[in-house]
Structure 1
Amino acid sequence: MQDLQVELIEESIGFTGRGLITGIVFFDFGAFQFPEREWNDAVVVIVDWWLIALINLVEGRTGEVELRFMEGSFWLSVRREVGDECQIQCIEGSRASVQFQCRTSAVKLLRSTLMIAARLQRICYDKGWRSVDVEALENHVGEARKLAGEH
């Protein structure tokens, strides 16, 4: 199974005039990064989407989820296979072109996403950034911690 990490560049996190919290976030598969190493997006919103989707996948509410980016036409298709194993496809564009695929642990993917979400939560708290998006992320971090066996 492929080792993968969700990566967040903390120095890139900022609060836009439109009220979004943005920053560099991407999936790192070692030799392959998706969508790319310097991908900037609405990090609080998309990481919250990812947490919700992965909670549903790990709890068995669904057998397949999409981890979408807000900017551009990029997403990960994550399909549950046997046990904790899942098939990941990195997909780009309107033609749904598969850029990379591998197998990994659904729980490990949830934990990596949870680590990023908790870091985002701390950054927002430290900077005094409050919004509906930050509150939603906080709620889902708590739910994911219970599911991932973290307290």
Structure 2
Amino acid sequence: MFKVQAEVGTLEIARSGRITGVIMLRDEDRSFPDDEWNDTPVVVLGWWLEELTRLFSGKASTAQCRFMDGPFAFDATRHGNEIVLQCRRRRQSSEQVVLEGRVPLDAFMWALVASASQVVAACEERGWKSDELNRLKDLVRVAKSEVCGA
């Protein structure tokens, strides 16, 4: 089953304040984009929470979730209580689906909220502060209350 995975042990903060680290979608034996994809998890998780919360609440039928770095994105299309994930790589004039699968929407949302919460906690433990981190904290709070019922 697909889940969002952010490796909090890889988080670093640049002089600019931008927080980077490994983030990916993971199923039993594959990762997208790959096992060591380094990106901006605070920003990316915020985008994904926003998109997927709209999908979960019925305000959208498809969520378009992208990575900040590289030509990678995934679409999540709702089909009842499941979502179909299509992981794509953009090329110069086309896109290629490189990984696809179905997952229960509630399980995927819980995994996303858990991953975002872990990133927030790791950043706070290190004393890092930023507008992007505050935004992610707010989106986690909304997702927990509106989407996950917690």
Alignment TM class, shorter chain as reference:
over 0.9
Cα distance in 1 for partners of 2:49, 2:41 equals 12
Structure 1 runs (4+) greater than 2 angstroms displaced: none
Counterpart for residue 52 of structure 1: 50
Counterpart for residue 17 of structure 2: 19
Counterpart for residue 124 of structure 1: 123
Give CA-to-partner distance per residue, 1:62-111, whole Å, 9 cap, x none.
00011100000101110111x21111101002321000111111221111
**Are residue 91 (structure 1) and residue 88 (structure 2) matched?**
yes
Unaligned runs of 5+ in 1: none
- Tell me the TM-score normalized by structure 2: 0.94
Instruction: Count matched residues.
Output: 147
Superposed CA RMSD? 1.0
What is the percentage of aligned positions where both structures have the same residue?
A: 27
- Tell me the TM-score normalized by structure 1: 0.93
Cα distance in 2 for partners of 1:120, 1:102 equals 25
Unaligned runs of 5+ in 2: none
SS at match of 2:28: coil
Cα distance in 1 for partners of 2:100, 2:3 equals 14
**Are residue 63 (structure 1) and residue 49 (structure 2) matched?**
no
Give CA-to-partner distance per residue, 1:2-37, whole Å, 9 cap, x none.
x12211212110101221111001111112210000
SS at match of 1:141: helix
Cα distance in 1 for partners of 2:57, 2:86 equals 21
